[in-house]
């Protein structure tokens, strides 16, 4: 009797999605709030566009640099912990072997069952250290190019997100019309972005879209109200 092959589908691009989410969410929200705030204080689309582009440039650089430094820190932390595990397998091998045994005891293996497993793992230092890094410290080796990729992904996502709320101020002559267009376009983009992000990360799509819209909308409303009150 023919059987349907079991195919497991797991989402594995979590690091890239995280970078896109970080860049796009801030890119949509911060320039949107800035443009809305300036719309309540000035009557010139050119000023809003100039300030918005300056903020996008500064924000994308800052966010990209932050992503780069975070990824470098992860890589340095991994290498530091790995060097420590190498030293410990050399200086206190009995202690490290007992830590391997403790891990397997947590999976229900008896003493008779785990002894040959521990011996097999500890017979090769690289395999031993790899095991301890993954199952004791829960650390995966970062991609060597992760820092550059993360920085570029976050920065580009920020720029793409930031240009959306500014587009109406470039295309529409009146401040009122540009503000209305920016609100509609940005909220729609936030909803789509939140929906897609939720689908990719396993969250309920409608909930994800609503949360993203509320976050961006509240930020813009607060900025507009403050600018109005001060102006």
What's the pLDDT tens digit per position in 139-187? 888 887 889 999 999 999 999 999 999 999 999 988 889 988 988 898 8
CA distance 42 to 34: 12
* pLDDT value, residue 85: 94
**Are 66 and 118 in contact, with CB atoms under 8 Å apart?**
no
Q: Which of 185, 89, 78 is nearest to 128 (CA)?
A: 89
CA distance 224 to 207: 26
> Cα(first)–Cα(last) distance of the chain, in Å?
77
* pLDDT tops 50 at residue 29: yes
pTM for this predicted structure? 0.77
What's the pLDDT tens digit per position in 186-211? 888 888 888 877 777 667 878 877 88
* pLDDT value, residue 228: 66
**Mean pLDDT computed over every residue of the chain:** 85
Report CA torsion sign: 209, 23, 49, 32.
positive
Determine the 3-state secondary structure of 135 from DSSP. Answer: helix
* pLDDT tops 80 at residue 1: no
CA distance 192 to 156: 18
Tokens 């820190």 belong to 73
CA distance 46 to 182: 14
* Alpha-helical runs (H) found in the chain: 14-39, 45-91, 93-105, 111-122, 125-131, 146-171, 175-201, 205-230
Distances (CA, A) of 158 to 101, 164, 202, 217: 47, 10, 23, 17
* pLDDT tops 90 at residue 65: yes
* pLDDT tops 60 at residue 10: no
The arithmetic mean of pLDDT across residues 125-149, rounded, is: 90
Residue 2: is it exposed, middle or buried by C-beta count within 10 angstroms (0-12/13-18/19+)? exposed
What's the pLDDT tens digit per position in 90-110? 999 999 999 999 998 888 888
* pLDDT value, residue 20: 87
CA distance 16 to 149: 9
**Are 160 and 186 in contact, with CB atoms under 8 Å apart?**
no
């Amino acid at each position: 009797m023919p059987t349907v092959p079991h195919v497991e589908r797991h989402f594995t691009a979590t690091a890239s999605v995280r970078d896109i989410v970080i860049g796009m969410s801030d890119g949509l929200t911060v320039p949107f709030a800035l443009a809305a705030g300036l719309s309540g204080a000035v009557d010139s689309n050119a000023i809003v566009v100039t300030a918005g582009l300056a903020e996008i440039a500064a924000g994308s650089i800052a966010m990209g640099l932050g992503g780069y430094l975070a990824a470098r820190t992860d890589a340095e932390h991994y290498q530091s912990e790995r060097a420590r595990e190498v030293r410990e397998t050399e200086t206190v091998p009995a202690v490290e072997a007992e830590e391997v045994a403790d891990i397997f005891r947590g999976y229900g293996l008896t003493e008779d069952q785990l002894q040959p497993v521990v011996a097999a793992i500890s017979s090769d230092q690289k395999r031993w250290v790899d095991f301890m890094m993954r199952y004791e410290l829960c650390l995966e080796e970062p991609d060597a190019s992760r820092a550059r990729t993360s920085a570029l992904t976050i920065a580009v996502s920020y720029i793409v997100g930031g240009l959306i709320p500014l587009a109406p101020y470039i295309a529409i002559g009146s401040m009122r019309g540009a503000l209305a267009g920016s609100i509609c376009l940005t909220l729609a983009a936030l909803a789509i972005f939140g929906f897609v992000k939720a689908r990719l990360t396993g969250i309920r799509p409608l909930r994800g879209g609503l949360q993203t819209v509320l976050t961006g909308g509240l930020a813009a409303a607060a900025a507009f109200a403050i600018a109005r009150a001060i102006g």
